[in-house]
Every structure is written in structure tokens, then in C-alpha cells.
Amino acid sequence: MTRRAMSLLPQWSSRVFSVELDGAPSYFSIQGKHRGEEEPRPFREAQIPGRCFSLLVCSSDRVRRAKFYWELKEKLMRDLPPQCDVSPMSSFLPNVKDSLIKGYFLKDHSESSSQSERILRDLMQRDPVLVCSYLRSGDSQLWTQHLWSNGDRETMEMSQGYYVVPSEAPEYHPSTLNIINSDVFYSFDEAYEVMKQCGDIIPEAKPVLELLPSRAESRSKPDFPVIVIEGLDATGKTTLTESLRDTLRAALLRSPPQCLSPSRARFDREPPLIRRAFFALGNYITAEQMGQEGMKTPVIVDRFWHSTAAYAIATAVSGPVCNLPAEGSEVYRWPSDLLQPSLVVLLTLDPEERKRRLRNRNQGETKEEQELDQNQLFRLKVEEAYRRISGPACITVDASPSADQVLQQVLLLIRGKCHL
């Protein structure tokens, strides 16, 4: 058992466990005595003599932990018997930052769980995982959790097991405990450190590091205004930004910047920690360009930090919009060392009209853009996260009128806010 796993044991009985079912978390906890509580939802429909298991990834190296967790599901789906269901899960201490550990919950419906147990034992002997089995008492609905140690089913300090009981939803969605400088980065140094750690395992990381400014500073705003245009794909950002460039004789920049294009496809396949660090560093490269161009002319930017943060938050937080961090949460604050634009315009569009425009474009979409089309809830979370980001906040503009009407409306905003 790893040192990281060992450190969890003194607080083990205080932890809450979350299993993703139908796109939303379901919670349970453990206790020494059973007081007649009902069977937690993750254990319902488990066949007799079915077994349930959990494994949590506990490596102290956050980059390797993220990579291992990202690749583990594919390994489990390939090696486990087909009668075994696999769901994402996590364990956390309620309201304690950085206490979240990710893993998977297994519900084995096969007649014998020996194949699943062998695979989990092999994992424990080679990899940084903490494994538990869940046993049902006869044909009752009482389940007990048993922590594995030394690669077998002997438990450590828990020989009698803990009863598994339902737990109320915590005040904050568990993923928000680890969101800062993990799903969303708030400083150049934090994102740089992740990319630096990737150097040994991702060849494309080193060229990215070479493109970065020597350091990021919270600098005074350039002489000319910087206007960022945000919005989902097909809301008219490209048309508007090019029209603004021509009308205002401005410089036009995009985030992530063109210099990162050769690496983007690789980092789009990486786990969230690494992918988000890549896009965060792209913002700092764009910020340096904004500062340089803004000394000579107005600057128009096609997407910036709002997009990076909104997509990351919406992806990290499962379930309904109400699970997002509350308005005013620190997760919506602007990074202190990132240049702030003078104005941020968020283009919005009716979902059906946006889909129609996407079909007409017939262009390839990112995985997250495909999810926007297929998952209305994800789209709503992205849009709400956009609206909650502050410093500066977005000003919403309806993108359904003609391109010229949208341009005139945005020009009015720029003249009013930026005095151009």
C-alpha cells in the first residue's frame, strides 16, 4: 500500500464516497454500527451473490495520478468480465479542499467474482491504488466495506468491516474541492509546473515550454483597449472578430494561439489536469501578444480565459446546473497574473439556431463541442459558468440578428466602455 494510501486511513471513517450514476453523483458513507438505514443506491440491483468493489488512485505524483486514472477505465473495461459494471467514483472529506481522490466503482454480476478479484489484486501489487470490497450479509440489504491490504483480502485495522449507509449530498459538489489549479489554473506558475512534469512522459510538452514567456506578470493595461469575444461555436465569433478588426483597424488574436496548433491534437487526448494546463498556458502566450499589440493598436481576441474556465468547470461538475459553485465562488475569479481585457462580449444564440449553423459549416468539432450538441445540460452549465466569471464579467449580446446588426451593437458597447 502506498504512502499516500496509508495517509488516508486515520480519516477513513470520516470520508464520503460518491458514485456517478446516470450523470449525477450518488453518495454513501461508512459507520461502525448499522441503525436500520436503507441500502445506498449504488448497491441496489446487485445480484446475489454479487460483489461490489471500489478502487481509488492514490499516487502522490499528480501528473502520473491523472494519467493512470485516465487510462485505468479502458484497462478495466477490457480486462473485467462483461457482467461487471464500471462507474466513476470518488472519495472526499466534506468541505476539505484537495481531499478528493478519484477512482472507479465496480458492480460484478457474474456468478463468481474471482476474475475481478484477481485483476484488482494484480493492480494493487503494481500500481498506486487502494481497493475495497463490499460484501452483503446473506440475502439482506446490509453491506459492509472491507479495505484490502498487501494485495489480498486481509484488511488493516478494519477486520470487521464498516457498514455502508446512504449519505446526504454535501454542501458543495465534491469535484469543486480540487478544481483550483487542477481543472482551472489561476497562475502561470501552477500551469507551468504541470507542463514541466509532463516533459518526461509527453514529448510534445517540451516544445510548448520553449514557447512560453520567461515569466508572467500582472502588468498594467496596454495603451489601447483589448476586447475579447466569447461564445460557443457557431455563434458568429469569427465573423464578428474579423469585422471588428477591419472596422477598428485592430490586431486580431486567437486563444489558444496559432503557435500551439501543432500540439493541440495531442493535448486534447490527455486527462483534464494536463489538457487544462496546456490551454491555460495558451492564455498566457496570448496575453503576452495582447500586451505587445495593445501598445500600438486596439486588440480583438477570439476567446480567452473565460472559455478555458467555463468549459473546465462545466466538465468537472456533474449533475444539474445547481451543482456548480455558487456565484461569487473563488473558482470564478480572474487569475491575478493574467492581463485583464478592457471588455468581454459573450455571444449567445438559440440552441436550435446554433445547431443549424453548425450543420451548415460542416466542420470538425472538438469532443466538448460535440457534447454541447448532444447534452443540453452540459451546454447550460457552460453558459452559466461564462456568466459567473468575474474580473471582468461578460456582457451578453444576442447573436441571432444579422452579422451587421450584431457588429453595430458591439461597436456601441466598445465606444461606451472603451471610448473608441
Mean pLDDT of 160-178: 90
CA 198, distance to chain mean position in Å, is 18
The pLDDT assigned to 370 comes to: 61
Least confidently predicted of 131-135, 196-200, 219-223: 219-223
Q: Where are the domains positioned within the chain?
A: 3-177, 179-418
Mean pLDDT of 165-187: 94
With 80 as the cut, is the pLDDT of residue 372 above it? Answer: no
The pLDDT assigned to 366 comes to: 57
For the entire predicted model, the pTM comes to: 0.89
Ordered DSSP codes for 327-341: TT-GGGSPPTTSPPP
Mean pLDDT of 15-30: 93
The pLDDT assigned to 154 comes to: 46
Mean pLDDT of 285-302: 95
Least confidently predicted of 233-237, 337-341, 373-377: 373-377
Distance CA 149, CA 280 (A): 39
Q: Let me know: does 312 contact 318? Beta carbons within 8 Å.
A: no
Q: 179-418 falls under which CATH superfamily?
A: P-loop containing nucleotide triphosphate hydrolases (3.40.50.300)
The pLDDT assigned to 103 comes to: 97
Summarised one tens digit per residue, pLDDT across range 36-95 is: 889 999 998 776 666 899 999 988 899 999 999 999 999 999 999 998 999 999 999 998
The pLDDT assigned to 3 comes to: 60
Least confidently predicted of 177-181, 240-244, 338-342, 349-353: 349-353
With 60 as the cut, is the pLDDT of residue 159 above it? Answer: no
CA dihedral 256, 183, 130, 44 (to 10 degrees): -110
Which ranges of 162-320 would DSSP assign to H, the alpha helix? 188-197, 205-211, 237-248, 261-268, 272-293, 305-316
With 50 as the cut, is the pLDDT of residue 151 above it? Answer: no
Nearest to 236 by CA among 341, 339, 360: 360
Summarised one tens digit per residue, pLDDT across range 208-249 is: 999 998 765 556 678 999 999 999 888 889 999 999 999 999
3-class DSSP assignment, residue 117: helix
The pLDDT assigned to 156 comes to: 40
Least confidently predicted of 39-53, 197-211, 320-334: 39-53
